[in-house]
């Protein structure tokens, strides 16, 4: 078998030194090189280039690996074919030796010369194959097939073969490459071999076919590599086109206008990216709107008490009684501003995840506590309309805050001795808390606006409120994924009902208006 010696190539390493710019100017010192390097770095940092480089590298590695595997397979197949050819020739010779002479019909009976003659007449060596025969240590006949090297003229080799007494399988180097052979001695009338048959194959010549096949495979692999690179570039461009569109759309969205959204195309990674980006924009838009609303509301409602405080402080006199009265008025206005700020903070935070702290609690115990607390708000005829013995999961403090706000609202719109009722009902997967009063009711045309911030029925404003109470109740209810209902007939009072699912924390998105 041919032995290949690997070639070793020594490459001298060269160290390049880059001198810093001199005072002669950037052009003289290589500044243009630095200016050129930035676009090059950006080019190689491109995701498309990196994808293409990875794909081409993988395809090239696969091509080289496939050629190496094919080469190994072809070499092994060649060795197998050579062995089979040599064994086949020797087997045919042995079968002929035990048979009859085709001309006489008589057995050869150890007639080595006649055996060789008949064999060479019947068998023609294939390309790059040669047959040689020896009788009594001397060359007898050889094949007429043309071969690249005359083995019968290699005296050293002929002497080695002619003296064999046992079969030998081996290989020798010749000026025309390696030759593999099988030498088979033939016994004549006695016990000692009288003749030797040698079948030889120029293996390196046979290897040329393998080399040709590998060159064809390498050419095909190179062609596929070039075609694959072009297709990979086009595919990368097509895949990254939506990313470019998303990038351009994102750049066009300014901080002042967050209402625009990116185009969502399909359910692939790009579509998920656009959807996620749009969700982020929606959250940012909500946050900015909440912030802007808080600023507007604060500026709208705090302007009046600040003006009152400023005016009284500017007119503050030295008289103790006047100072005492002014101080009381200022403190009252400051307390009102503090309440307004706290209410605005609640309205600004209700959409945040940590606004609620849900936990299981008994609704019956809650309604009893609220009724006890509400009875201190004013001398009214407080009634418990309905009681329920059930456990729900919600924020108990926020629910209490909402019911107390509704109770306070009922007290403000009723007179001493009027009836106010509280109740709770659990059924059909819902929990209903309500507060009803027997006040003047709300006109139909104003019922849709009573939950707006700073809105007061009939346009009146009270010194003890800023018109944020019902807005706070509605915000707390929506945070629980519930809804706030109003039922009112002018002249017959009003009923506010908080409707929640039994487990608001486990049912996000339900009931929200």
pLDDT at 22 > cutoff 80: no
% of the chain beyond a pLDDT of 90: 14
10 Å Cβ neighbour count for 109? 12
∠ CA 270-275-278, rounded to 5° = 125
Give residue-wise pLDDT tens across range 244-278. Answer: 777 777 777 665 667 777 777 767 777 787 788 78
pLDDT at 238 > cutoff 90: no
Give residue-wise pLDDT tens across range 414-424. Answer: 999 899 999 99
- Identify the pLDDT of residue 142: 77
- Identify the pLDDT of residue 362: 93
pLDDT at 407 > cutoff 70: yes
Judged by average pLDDT, the poorest of 203-207, 252-256, 498-502 is: 252-256
pLDDT at 104 > cutoff 80: yes
**Which residue, chain included where needed, has tokens 């500017």?**
314
Rg (CA), the chain: 52
- Identify the pLDDT of residue 15: 38
Each domain of the chain, given as residue ranges in start order, spans 41-252, 269-347, 356-506
C-alpha span between 207 and 75 (Å, rounded): 8
Q: Stretch 441-456: mean pLDDT, rounded? A: 75
* First-residue to last-residue Cα distance in the chain: 85
pLDDT at 466 > cutoff 70: no
Q: Stretch 391-403: mean pLDDT, rounded? A: 91
- Identify the pLDDT of residue 260: 74
pLDDT category, 504, cuts 50, 70, 90?
low
Give residue-wise pLDDT tens across range 270-321. Answer: 778 778 878 887 877 777 776 676 666 666 556 667 776 777 677 666 777 7
- Identify the pLDDT of residue 495: 93
Q: Stretch 341-356: mean pLDDT, rounded? A: 72
- Identify the pLDDT of residue 360: 92
**Among residues 402, 414, 429, which one has the least CA distance to residue 497?**
402
- Characterize the bridge pairing of strands 381-386 and 419-427: parallel
Architecture of the domain defined by 356-506: 2-Layer Sandwich (3.30)
DSSP β-bridge partners for residue 186: 195
Q: Stretch 135-152: mean pLDDT, rounded? A: 80
- Identify the pLDDT of residue 115: 87
- Which of 9-18, 74-83, 234-243, 403-412 is most confident? 403-412
C-beta of residue 414 within 8 angstroms of C-beta of residue 437: yes
CATH topology agreement for domains 269-347 and 356-506: no
Judged by average pLDDT, the poorest of 322-336, 404-418, 473-487 is: 322-336
Spatial neighbors of 431 by CB under 8 A, at least 6 apart, are 363, 388, 390, 392, 394, 424, 425, 499, 500, 501, 502
Architecture of the domain defined by 269-347: Orthogonal Bundle (1.10)
pLDDT at 215 > cutoff 60: yes
Query: How does the average pLDDT of the chain come out, rounded?
Result: 78
C-alpha span between 414 and 364 (Å, rounded): 26
């Amino acid at each position: 078998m041919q032995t290949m010696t690997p070639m070793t190539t020594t490459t001298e390493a060269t160290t390049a030194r880059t001198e810093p710019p001199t005072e002669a100017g950037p052009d003289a010192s290589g500044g243009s090189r630095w200016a050129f390097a930035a676009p090059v770095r950006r080019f190689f940092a491109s995701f498309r280039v990196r994808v293409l480089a990875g794909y081409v590298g993988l395809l090239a590695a696969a091509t080289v690996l496939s050629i190496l595997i094919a080469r190994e397979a072809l070499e092994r197949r060649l060795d197998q074919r050579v062995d089979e050819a040599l064994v086949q020739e020797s087997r045919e010779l042995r079968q002929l030796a035990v048979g009859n002479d085709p001309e006489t019909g008589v057995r050869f009976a150890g007639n080595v010369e006649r055996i060789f003659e008949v064999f060479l007449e019947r068998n023609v060596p294939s390309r790059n194959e040669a047959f040689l025969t020896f009788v009594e240590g001397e060359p007898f006949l050889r094949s007429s097939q043309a071969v690249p090297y005359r083995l019968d003229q290699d005296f050293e080799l002929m002497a080695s073969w002619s003296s064999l007494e046992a079969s030998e399988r081996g290989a020798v180097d010749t000026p025309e490459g390696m030759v593999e052979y099988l030498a088979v001695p033939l016994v004549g009338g006695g016990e000692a071999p009288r003749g030797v048959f040698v079948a030889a194959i120029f293996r390196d010549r046979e290897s040329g076919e393998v080399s040709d096949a590998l060159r064809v495979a390498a050419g095909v692999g190179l062609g596929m590599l070039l075609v694959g690179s072009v297709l990979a570039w086009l595919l990368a461009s097509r895949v990254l086109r939506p990313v470019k569109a998303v990038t351009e759309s994102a750049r066009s969205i300014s901080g002042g206008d967050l209402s625009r959204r990116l185009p969502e195309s399909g359910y692939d990674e790009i579509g998920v990216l656009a959807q996620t980006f749009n969700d982020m924009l929606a959250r940012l838009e909500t946050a900015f709107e909440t912030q802007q609303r808080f600023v507007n509301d604060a500026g709208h409602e705090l302007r009046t008490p600040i003006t009152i405080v400023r005016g009284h402080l500017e007119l503050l006199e030295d008289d103790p009684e006047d100072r005492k009265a002014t101080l009381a008025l200022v403190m009252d206005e400051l307390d009102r501003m503090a309440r307004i700020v706290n209410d605005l903070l609640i309205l600004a935070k209700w959409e945040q995840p940590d606004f609620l702290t849900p936990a299981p609690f008994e609704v019956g115990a809650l309604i009893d506590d609220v009724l006890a607390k509400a009875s201190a708000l004013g001398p009214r005829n407080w009634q418990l309309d309905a009681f329920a013995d059930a456990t729900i999961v919600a924020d108990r403090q926020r629910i209490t805050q909402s019911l107390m706000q509704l109770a306070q609202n009922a007290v403000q719109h009723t007179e001493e001795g009027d009836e106010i009722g509280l109740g709770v009902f659990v059924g059909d997967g819902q929990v209903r808390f309500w507060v009803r009063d027997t006040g003047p009711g709300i006109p139909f045309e104003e019922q849709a606006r009573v939950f707006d911030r700073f809105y007061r029925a009939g346009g009146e404003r009270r010194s003890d409120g800023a018109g944020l109470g019902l807005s706070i109740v509605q915000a707390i209810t929506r945070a629980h994924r519930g809804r706030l209902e109003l039922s009112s007939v002018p002249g017959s009072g009003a009923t506010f009902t908080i409707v929640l699912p039994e487990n608001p924390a486990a049912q996000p998105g339900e009931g929200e208006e």
